Structure 1
Amino acid sequence: MLTKQNLPDMVIEALKALGGSGSVVDVCREVWKRHEDVLRDSGDLFFTWQYDIRWAAQKLRDQGRLEPTARGAASRWILADRTVVRT
């Protein structure tokens, strides 16, 4: 079953698919496109995943896997390693 602990990997996967950066909406759209079925079957996480994914991104920033970002909805999430291959 999908848990909050899976979300950081989903963020990384989505950002790689987006060429290394994207808005929170872009990332959520990509996660939904790739994982709709498991999200639908994730129990309570289905109702909170778009909130929880923001905490996953913060965790990735704290680990140095995402670049620091300005606060606000218009900010972009950027992989710290910009040498990504589009998937």
Structure 2
Amino acid sequence: MATKHDLRDWTIEALKSLGGSGSVVETCRLIWQVHEPDLRASGDLFYTWQYDVRWAAQTLRDEGVLVSAGRERRAPWTLA
């Protein structure tokens, strides 16, 4: 069963597939395309994963894995 921790790994995986940077929508679309069965089998995470993936991205920013978005809410997610 997928967990919130998996969302961190899947976000990195999706961004690498997108060439290192992508919008929230592009990133989530790719996560869904690759991990739909995992998400469907993940219990409550299935209903919250798009919210939780944003928190995963913030954690990745805090750790320096993603570039800080600064004040720009619509900035693409970019691997550092």
The interval holding the TM-score normalised by the smaller chain is over 0.9
**Which residue does the alignment assign to 1:15?**
15
Partner amino acid, structure 1, of 2:4 = K
By how many angstroms is 1:16 displaced? 0.3
Q: Percent identity?
A: 61
Query: Distance between the aligned counterparts of 1:71 and 1:47, measured in 2?
Result: 27
Unaligned runs of at least 5 residues, structure 1: 81-87
Q: TM-score w.r.t. structure 2 length?
A: 0.95
Structure 1 segments of 4+ aligned residues over 2 angstroms from their partners: none
- CA RMSD of superposed structures (Å): 0.8
**Which residue does the alignment assign to 2:35?**
35
**Which residue does the alignment assign to 1:62?**
62
Q: TM-score w.r.t. structure 1 length?
A: 0.87
Question: How do 1:36-55 and structure 2 match up within 5 A?
Answer: 36-55=36-55
- Judging by fraction of residues, say which structure has more helix: 2
How many equivalent residue pairs?
A: 79
Partner amino acid, structure 2, of 1:13 = E
Query: Distance between the aligned counterparts of 1:5 and 1:77, measured in 2?
Result: 18
